[in-house]
Chain A
Amino acid sequence: MSGSLVCVGTGMTLGAHISPIARSHIEQADIVFSLMANGFAQKWLEEMNDEVRTLQGFYQEGKNRNITYNEMVEAILTEVRNGKKVVAAFYGHPGVFACVSHRAINKAKKEDLPATMEPGISAEDCLYADLGIDPGQTGCTHYETSQFMFYQRNIETSAHLILWQVALAGDKSLAKFSTGSAYREVLVELLLEHYPSDHQVILYQAKGIAIDTMRAEYISLTELIDAELFMHTTLVIPPCTKMQPNDKVLARLAEIDKKEKRAKDGPVLSLVL
């Protein structure tokens, strides 16, 4: 019998966010591999299926996480190749800041094994609801913090800038579980090229269980250096400038509007015989 893989998201808050189809996949799987955000969620998952195997054991401080993630993919695919109906359950959304599920699905498809993804409620979704940010209002850009630091980026200060995994800012080794204030100083220096030092930024953490309190701590940009950060802390930088009109494009659009209006309002011609 051919195996299959479904990557599902269980959402951020235990019990609040899981979709009916994700739950059904978990309940009907032969094997469920898991990466949950906390022990409560792991226990909850284990109540849904007797064959839950956590992938947590692959994480080790000092070990390159690229290796870790490839090992997780192999563990998942080994059981799919064995003909098992496999579910990989991730907290949040399985395809947002979640390379294991993307890698596993791509690899399965290359081997002609059926593999699909079911979305979940992500930390990003919770952030918009908890902080009252509409990404459509001024635009919004997202980066993994270290990637943001390592590569040249055009920073758009009239849009929200959201930096994920800020506690690992500047970790080139991919092997640390946190980085210190020296690394954050580099991040803050980079941001100070674009934002004022007293610009208010937000440290955000979504609720993991019902009794948690969502974290929305406003600090000035420079206070980030010594702030208390956790693996799941996200840095939200609101806009510090107004959107600037693109006069060239607006002029071209105005010309088109004018032409359309002339065509619409022009005299009606009739044929006189």
Chain B
Amino acid sequence: MSKVIQVLETMASDASLINEENISTFLTTTEINAEQQRAITAKSAGQLAETIADLPELMAFSQVLPADEDAPIEDEQEDDNSASSKLLASSF
């Protein structure tokens, strides 16, 4: 496992790692580099992300629609006849 991901996993699952002192001690036992240690100590997810070359940027939508429609709809994104548009329009 990537060392830094392993560190994040351990920090999230070890109850002893909730105070700064224990975290600092723990970081000295890991094999992550100094930049990553600094980012973790600063609690900067942004800085930490910059240290991982191929970290994907993801979008985190709630997968929920204002008008849910289970049936697959046609690929007519701009078409007013799309299932979701019909449902939404019906409420006005």
Partner-B contacts on A (CB < 8 A): 13-16, 35-40, 42-44, 47, 54, 56, 59, 62-67, 69-70, 74, 90-91, 97-101, 103, 106, 144, 146-147, 149-152, 164-165, 168, 171-172, 174-175, 177, 208-213, 231-232
Contact = CB atoms under 8 A, between A and B. Distances in A.
B59 interface: yes
Nearest to A103: B70
Contact of A150 (B2, B58, B63, B67): B67
Contacts, number: 145
B69 interface: yes
A165 B12 contact: no
Contact of A16 (B13, B45, B56, B59): B13
Given A177-B59, A209-B12, A164 B66 contact: no
Contacts of B52: 39-40, 43
A209 B8 contact: yes
Contacts of A208: 45
Interface of B: 1-2, 5, 8-13, 17, 39-40, 43-45, 48-49, 52, 55-70, 72-73, 75, 77, 82-85, 88, 91
B64 A211 contact: no
Classify the interface of chain B: helix, strand, loop or mixed: loop
A47 B1 contact: yes
